[in-house]
Structure formats: structure tokens, C-alpha cells
Chains A and B, each alone.
Chain A
Amino acid sequence: MPEKKNSLCEESYFSDFYIKNIQSATNFAYYKSGDSEAALDLVQEAFAKIWENCSQIDFTKVKTYLFTSINNLFLNSVKHQKVVLAFAKDTPPQDKTNQSPEYLLEEEEFKIKLQNAIASLSQAQREVFLMNRIDGKKYREIAKILGISQKAVEKRMSAALKILKEQIENI
């Protein structure tokens, strides 16, 4: 990257970095904690850490640093609880043409099943799965952010799918 390492200490550059990453960072914290307020607090704290130590952080690794900080802060502070994520109110059914009440009811049931199944995933599986599904991140990107190999991301993804499918089909 053309920018110098210490450009992170420049306010305009830092703000840019902040705006670009605040949403996905908060999502990440949310996947872990299931608490939107706690998630934002965690992220703000992680950004604060980066700002305070801007001169010491390698510019090219700042994104990884951000997510690692969030993870560490989460492990240190937030009580581990069952994470149940809610669906957006305007979630469209998969088959938009089928508006029959039976179908819609069936789909609502499925959504509840899915919610519970996701809650039963391990934290590592959930965050990878949701980063892919919700944030639309590629495996390679997730691997870089989490500081793990792409193979590891694929394994977690695959394990998550397997559990979700089993859980949904069994209930």
C-alpha cells in the first residue's frame, strides 16, 4: 500500500478506516455477543486501542488487529451467553411468488428453526458462517481478518452447514 505506516495516526486517515470498518466490525462483535449495545461498545474500545497505539501498529495489519482486539475484549468482558439473532422484519420469503398462507407459515417455522440452530453453533463456526452469509465476505477475507488459514475457514463453514442442516431436519 502506498500510504506510510504512521498515516494511521492522521485523523483523516483514521476516520476513513473507521467508517469503512465500523459496520462489519460491529457485526462481528454482535455474532459473538448477540448483544447489539455491547457489540458497539466493544468495537469502539477496539478502535480506541488502535488510535492510542497508532504509531506502533503495522499499517498493513490494522484490520486484523481490529478484529483480534474485538475478540480479546469480548473474551475478557462479555459474559458468554446464548446468542440468538433476530431476523430482519422485512425478510423476504425465498419463493417470492408463493404467497399462500401455508407456505408463509412453513417458512416462518423454518426461520425459527434456523435461529435456534445458529444459536447452537460454536462461536468460531457462527462468526465464520455469519460473516460469509450476512457480510458477504469471501473465505479468504475472513481468514485474513481472523488471522487463520483459508482452509480453517472452509472447515468451520462446512462444519457449521452440517450442524445447521442436521438440526433443522431433525426438529
Chain B
Amino acid sequence: MKKEKEILKWLNGELSDREIEDLKQSEDFHTLEKIAHYSAHLDTPKIDAQEALAAFKNRNLTKKKPKVRPLYFKTIYKVAAIFVVLLTSAYFLFSNSTQSFETGIAQTKTFKLPDNSKVLLNASSKITFNEKNWNQQRDLTLEGEAYFQVQKGKTFSVKTADGIVKVLGTHFDVKQRDNYYEVSCFEGLVSVTYKNTTVKLPPGKSFRVINNRIEKTDDFDAETPSWLQKESSFNQIPLHQVIAELQRQYGIKIETEKIDTTQLFTGSFTHTNQKTALESVTIPLRLSYKIKGKTIIFYKYEVQ
């Protein structure tokens, strides 16, 4: 077909009148013109748009809702609740975690608190404190005996069953045993609160409570508690307290026969030699001891 491009343009209404005149001169255009003319008059079904629309609406079509994947909020809430519980409990469990140090019989332990304060724990003692809160609140709980070398800073308090010791930065020893409570200051100033009384201790002074009675104590001139040198010293202490300390340091059981355990003892015993220790307690009190299995019995020398 000649002039194909022009013919296509002509059918698409893109030719000017002059170009159409040119096209008409071509030989076989006559037929094409006829085709174009008559084909345009082919009949098509005439649609009444409004009528068709009305018929269409009678079809009662329903719009398909776009697929919505429901969010299972209930499940999500459940899961979220579990997480909240887990997270909060984990927070309290771990962040408020209390750190504790414990010693058994005949054992001592040295450790540092988060602020570098040094703690020496004597036998059968326990310290608990809150590690996370330490910088805000230097509080710890003590059962037993410990020597503290406190770094300067905020108030440092040691809570025991018997009383509270508050210091700013000193070296001191706290001993809390059954019916026995003693605080000794080695450096700085220590404030001891026992029941309703508060006592300020300068270095070399002790505060002692035995059987709920405040006892008068002599000054001492040691620079550290004697137990740090593996020795227990006593200054007018009832014998049963001394025996209790012996039991703690050696892990032995001591019984007494017809002995007044309230009599006072002044002296010391070593932590390294059981025989020497037993002798250094018994001989000054004119006592003797015998070993019966795992038990050691103290008795009066004269009786035998």
C-alpha cells in the first residue's frame, strides 16, 4: 500500500485539507475513501446509558471490602502485658539486686564496696547491700563482725539488729553477735545509734552493749582490730562471748561443766593454733579442758 503513513494519519485526523487533496490524487485512494466512509456507518447497538445504569444498579452489587487482615489486639495486649510484667520484674530483680558477702566458720574475707571502701569480714558474718543504689545511699546490713575502712563521701551507715552506725569516712569495727554489740572507732568519728541513744566515738573508744546493757569500756590504742592479726582480744568480756568467738574461729563445739560463764575475761587468743588458743583462754581463768570426740569441755581445774 502506497503512502501508508499518510493514510494512517488521514484516518487519525492528522492531515490538513491540502495534504488530503494530495492524497486523493493517488491511484487507489478511491476505494480507501469508500471503506473509510462506509465503515464509519456500521451500526452499533445504541445504548441508553441511563437505562443501562439503572439496570446495572438493580444488580444489587456489593462492594468487596478490601481484604483487611485483622490485628489481633487481644493477643497483642496479652503478649505486651507479659512483656511489661517480665521487664518490670526483671528491672526490680536485677537493678535492685542486693549484693551480699558471707563468711563461714573460721573464715575471713576482704572485699571492696562500689565506692572503694574496704570491708574485712570476720568469721560467720554476712553483709548485704544494694549495689545499684550504692552511690546514692551507702547503706549496708551487717550480721556478725566486720571492720570498715570507709572512703570519704556521703553518710555511710551500717545497720545491725542492735543499732545503726553512721560515719562519713573512718575506720571502724562493728561486732554484732548474740546479745553482744560493739562498735570500735579506729580513725575519724563514728556515730552509733542504739535504741534512743546516740553516741559519738572518737578514735580509741568503743561502744559496747551486752545483754541489752550498755557497758563501760576502756580505751584501746590498737590501730586495727586484733582479729585482723588473726587474734581475738577481749577486755572484760563475759566468758560465754569468748567461747562463742572460739567456736566461730575454730569451728568447734565447746561445752562447760560447772563454770560461771558470766565471769569476765581479759586477754586474747590466736586464730592459728587451736591448742594455744584454748590454753590462753582457760589457763588465766584457772580452767582446764578435755577433748571428747568433736566436743571440747571446759571444767574447773580444782575439781579434778
Interface residues of A, Cβ cutoff 8 Å to B: 9, 15, 18-19, 22-23, 26-27, 30, 36-37, 39-40, 44, 47-48, 51-56, 85-89, 91-92, 94, 107, 110-111, 114-115, 118, 129-130, 132-134, 136, 138-139, 154, 157-158, 161-162, 164-165, 168-169
Contacts and interface: CB of A to CB of B under 8 A. Distances in A.
Contacts of B31: 165, 168-169
Interface string B34-49: 1111111111111101
A134 B38 contact: no
Contact of B38 (A9, A111, A130, A161): A111
Given A87-B42, A88-B43, A132-B11, A161 B56 contact: no
A155 to B, nearest CB: 10
Nearest to A90: B41
A5 B174 CA distance: 81
B47 A23 contact: yes
A30 B32 CA distance: 24
A107 B38 CA distance: 9
Contacts of B61: 48, 51-52
Given A39-B45, A161-B7, A165-B28, A87 B53 contact: no
Nearest to B45: A36
By secondary structure, the A interface counts as helix
B52 A55 contact: no
B37 A94 contact: yes
B213 interface: no
Contacts of B4: 158
B291 interface: no
A118 B40 CA distance: 12
A110 B31 CA distance: 9
25 contacts: A18-B52, A18-B56, A19-B49, A30-B45, A39-B45, A48-B56, A55-B64, A55-B65, A85-B42, A86-B42, A87-B38, A87-B42, A87-B43, A110-B38, A111-B38, A114-B34, A114-B39, A130-B42, A132-B12, A133-B11, A133-B36, A133-B39, A134-B40, A158-B4, A162-B1
Nearest to A54: B63
Interface in B1-48: 1, 4, 7-8, 11-13, 28, 31-47
Contact of B52 (A44, A114, A164): A44
A19 B33 CA distance: 32
B35 A40 contact: no
Given A161-B1, A165-B31, A91 B66 contact: no
Nearest to A114: B38
Contact of A27 (B13, B38, B44, B50): B44
Contacts of B34: 94, 110, 114, 168
B59 interface: yes
Most A CB contacts (10 A, CB to CB) among B13, B38, B55 go to B38
Contacts of A53: 64
Contacts of A134: 39-40, 42, 44
A107 B35 CA distance: 11
B304 interface: no
Contacts of B64: 52-53, 55-56
A52 B64 CA distance: 5
The 6 closest A-B pairs by CB, nearest first: A36-B45, A91-B41, A88-B43, A133-B39, A55-B66, A85-B42
A53 B7 CA distance: 41
Contact of A56 (B44, B46, B66): B66
Nearest to A132: B11
A138 B14 CA distance: 10
